[in-house]
């Protein structure tokens, strides 16, 4: 598979009809089943520390555990309207909203009340996708414990299972007790999670979850942490970010060694998977579910978002989404193998400019709770 149509199921990355055709099939069900095709691997090599960087990460993870029930100030009063008072994207700054408020467009006659409601819905939607993504990470990391062949990696992945359970717990509690509003799993994110879990190769679980999904999440958490003044949410995000930085670093450290030994054909499969994951995550942020709940013409809003995609890559939010993913892919050698296949794809998506930003393998120490006194 080398063409967009073979990889994504559509020739044009911005094909509106193809994007809208991806829908959740079991929205009314409480359980979703995915076939896990991987083999569980035992290792009889118990030598701890054979991979020093992974061992160091494991030791750090053991000392950085926190309790979501007792370490966060859950007695904090939260007003959902105040939480979104400083929302970064509105009609004054975002090119999509500028287009959508023109005469004849979906948001032309909106009142301030409707804009405030949109901000609250967008916040609830974003937090809900964080929650669902963290459950995906919980399942994927449990799978990594089973499938990775190195004892140092199994040890560390076991700590991440606990981290992810804690993240699901705190996001679910915040949505339930402070926002009173949740959204279903976005179909594009759900399709990506299904693909990651279903793949039989252990390194694809790493690539899809640790590098792509967790990398984007780390960037999104950081963006929200910078903007919010709500003290409980700010501290919650700070704790989660300290874990997520280790998680992405775990993926970088593990895959860098493994990918150096792969053939060009094997690397091309990983490059294509990274590209597919990047597009799915971009499509996820079109937030169809929010427009539906707000009673807005979904097709019109998605079209406006796609038409203004190039302009949106200049705003801080869109940039941050890929600010972790691209440099991590570069460190893994994914950008330039096979005649720079992935580099060209990221250039088409207007995100290649982030390749020389700091990769998470280098920055996780600065994001650890022990490295900063600022936790709120």
Give the model's pLDDT for residue 340. 96
Domains by residue range for the chain, with CATH: 122-371 (1.20.1260)
Give the model's pLDDT for residue 374. 45
25-80 pLDDT per residue, tens = 777 788 999 999 899 999 999 999 999 999 999 999 999 999 999 999 999 999 99
Cα 213 to Cα 302: distance, rounded to the nearest angstrom = 22
270-326 pLDDT per residue, tens = 999 999 999 998 888 889 999 999 999 999 999 988 887 655 455 555 666 788 889
Cα 86 to Cα 122: distance, rounded to the nearest angstrom = 13
pLDDT above 50: residue 371:
no
Mean pLDDT for all residues in the chain = 88
Cα 169 to Cα 218: distance, rounded to the nearest angstrom = 17
pLDDT above 80: residue 148:
yes
CA quadruple 288, 289, 294, 297: dihedral positive or negative? positive
Tokens for 363, please give them: 């920055």
Cα 95 to Cα 29: distance, rounded to the nearest angstrom = 37
Q: How far is CA 331 from the centre of its chain?
A: 19
207-232 pLDDT per residue, tens = 999 999 998 888 889 888 988 999 99
pLDDT above 80: residue 99:
yes
């Amino acid at each position: 598979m080398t063409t967009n149509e073979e990889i994504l199921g559509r020739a044009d990355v911005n094909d509106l009809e193809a994007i809208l055709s991806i829908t959740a099939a079991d929205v009314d069900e409480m359980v979703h089943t995915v076939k896990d095709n991987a083999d569980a691997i035992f290792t009889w090599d118990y030598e701890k520390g054979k991979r020093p960087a992974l061992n160091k990460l494991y030791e750090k993870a053991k000392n950085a555990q926190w309790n979501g029930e007792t370490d966060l100030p859950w007695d904090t009063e939260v007003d959902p309207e105040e939480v979104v008072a400083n929302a970064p994207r509105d009609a004054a700054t975002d090119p999509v909203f500028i287009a959508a408020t023109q005469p004849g467009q979906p948001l032309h006659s909106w009142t301030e009340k409707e804009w405030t409601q949109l901000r609250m819905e967008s916040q609830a939607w974003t937090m809900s996708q964080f929650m669902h993504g963290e459950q995906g990470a919980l399942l994927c990391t449990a799978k990594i414990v089973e499938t990775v062949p190195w004892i140092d990696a199994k040890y560390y992945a076991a700590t991440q299972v606990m981290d992810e359970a804690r993240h699901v717990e705190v996001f679910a509690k915040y949505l339930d007790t402070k926002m009173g509003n949740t959204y279903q799993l976005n179909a594009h994110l759900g399709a990506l999670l299904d693909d990651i879990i279903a793949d039989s190769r252990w390194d694809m679980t790493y690539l899809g979850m640790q590098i792509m999904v967790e990398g984007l999440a780390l960037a999104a958490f950081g963006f929200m942490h910078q903007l919010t003044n709500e003290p409980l949410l700010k501290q919650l995000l700070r704790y989660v970010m300290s874990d997520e930085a280790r998680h992405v670093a775990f993926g970088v450290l593990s895959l860098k060694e493994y990918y150096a030994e792969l053939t060009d054909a094997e690397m091309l499969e990983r490059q294509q998977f990274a590209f597919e994951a990047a597009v799915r995550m971009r499509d996820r942020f079109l937030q169809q579910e929010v427009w539906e709940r707000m009673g807005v013409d979904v097709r019109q809003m998605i079209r406006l978002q796609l038409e203004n995609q190039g302009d949106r890559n200049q705003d801080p939010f869109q940039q941050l989404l890929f600010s972790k993913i691209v440099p991590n892919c570069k460190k893994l050698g994914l950008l330039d193998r096979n005649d720079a296949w992935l580099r060209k794809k990221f250039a088409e998506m207007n995100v290649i400019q982030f390749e020389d930003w700091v990769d998470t393998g280098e920055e996780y120490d600065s994001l650890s709770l022990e490295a900063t006194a600022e936790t709120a």
